[in-house]
Structure 1
Amino acid sequence: MKKVVLNLAVSLDGFIEGANGEVDWCIMDDDMNFETFIESIDTIFYGRVSYDAWGNFEPDENTSPAERIMWQGIHAKNKFVFSSQSRQDEKATYITTDIAKKVSEIKQQKGKDIWLYGGANLIKTFINSGLIDVYKLSVHPVVLGSGKPLFEDLKQRLNLRLLNTRIFRSGVVELTYEPEQITNR
């Protein structure tokens, strides 16, 4: 079965974007080998705002060849947009109702894993609904002081089990977790 993977940059103080939506603090070094992650997925889940901003993003002429290849890989994936607004879009399928049921159906399909790209409201919905199978958080060596927090308005405690840690030369630390199954004692 496919897994839903939240792969996300987060500041040391827990923000996923700055106070004005900025993400210029995110570091992409070649030793992070992000291409391997892109190759491990065949589907991307977006919220509507994130899809509008990044779902069809085209890098400019000053973009490095490696980043251009990364965007080509991202744009080759199946795209699902979770939104209260339904649109016709030949590059994405819109999901407006029954999120948990639709996610379960997509996870049952053959293929590779699913990247939960975001945004913050969609991530919150997935966390609160228990729909994330893997949390891959890249903690960046920056303190923003304010912005959009990753974990906000949770309905209950989220217990995670550490699977892997990677440290990159930039100082970014990638922490990979899976949710612990809670049993009644």
Structure 2
Amino acid sequence: MRKVVAGMQMSIDGKIDGPDGYADWVESWSDTFDLLPEIDACVLGSGMYSGYEQYWSAIKADPHSPLELSGNLPTPEEIEYADFALNTPHYVLSNTLDGVRWANTTVLRDAADVDALRQRSGKTIYVVGGAQTVSGLLDRGVIDELRLTIHPLVVGEGKALFATIAQRHRLQLNEAKSRPDGTVSLVYAVGD
């Protein structure tokens, strides 16, 4: 069975978005866990799909222009991730979308479809978000590992990562790394 890993960036008070609907404290949306060589499929929710597709397509189309969301130039890691995103199969978890326009992308209807995907041969499946998707898959027992990048910021008002979680989950800390920018990367195995 393939491993399913969810990776999220959040504030120290558990927020993935601030009051304006985005995480303006995140400097780069590239993979912060060095997972790309291990991944051959990505899953995301329908609420995240549109912005994700637009963001990475814009970087791929013009890696030397400022990003609309931040006004910053893409980092080298974001340019690398844009290549990865456009060449890796993506699965959008949605019971409302009829189709998607991004090449190499398929709509899945529910967590059982993600579980079926993990039964196929292949590498790690990366759940890139959003919060409701991560929480739903965690509650269904589909996520094996949770990787969090914690930013040294208390946001206060905003969208919490685990706001929709339905049950308690035990986690085992497998790795913790602090970085010079003050972020901390935590890797947890998901228990029963």
1:59-116 superposed Cα distances (whole Å, 9 cap, x missing partner): 25243444212211122111101112232334311112xx232122211222211111
SS in 1 for 2:48: helix
Q: What letter corresponds to residue 105 of structure 2 in structure 1? A: A
State whether structure 2 residue 27 is matched by structure 1 residue 27: yes
RMSD across aligned positions (CA): 2.1
Counterparts in 2 of 1:87 and 1:163: CA distance versus 1, 3 Å: same
State whether structure 2 residue 69 is matched by structure 1 residue 63: no
Alignment partner of 2:96 out of 52, 74, 85: 85
SS in 2 for 1:36: coil
Give the drift of 1:15: 0.5
Alignment identity in percent?
Answer: 29
Q: 2:99 & 2:174 partners in 1: Cα distance?
A: 39
SS in 2 for 1:5: strand
2:2 is matched with 2
Q: 1:64 & 1:177 partners in 2: Cα distance?
A: 27
Give the drift of 1:38: 1.8
State whether structure 2 residue 177 is matched by structure 1 residue 166: yes
State whether structure 2 residue 50 is matched by structure 1 residue 52: yes
Does the Cα contact within 8 Å between 2:12 and 2:154 map onto a contact in 1? yes
State whether structure 2 residue 139 is matched by structure 1 residue 141: no
Structure 1: runs of 5+ lacking an equivalent: none
Counterparts in 2 of 1:33 and 1:137: CA distance versus 1, 3 Å: closer
Q: 2:24 & 2:159 partners in 1: Cα distance?
A: 14
State whether structure 2 residue 134 is matched by structure 1 residue 131: no
Give the drift of 1:56: 4.2
Does the Cα contact within 8 Å between 2:41 and 2:88 map onto a contact in 1? yes
Does the Cα contact within 8 Å between 2:31 and 2:81 map onto a contact in 1? no
Q: 1:91 & 1:33 partners in 2: Cα distance?
A: 19
State whether structure 2 residue 125 is matched by structure 1 residue 114: yes
Q: 1:165 & 1:127 partners in 2: Cα distance?
A: 21
Structure 2: runs of 5+ lacking an equivalent: 66-72
SS in 1 for 2:35: helix
Q: 1:46 & 1:135 partners in 2: Cα distance?
A: 15
Q: 2:28 & 2:32 partners in 1: Cα distance?
A: 8
Q: 2:27 & 2:97 partners in 1: Cα distance?
A: 34
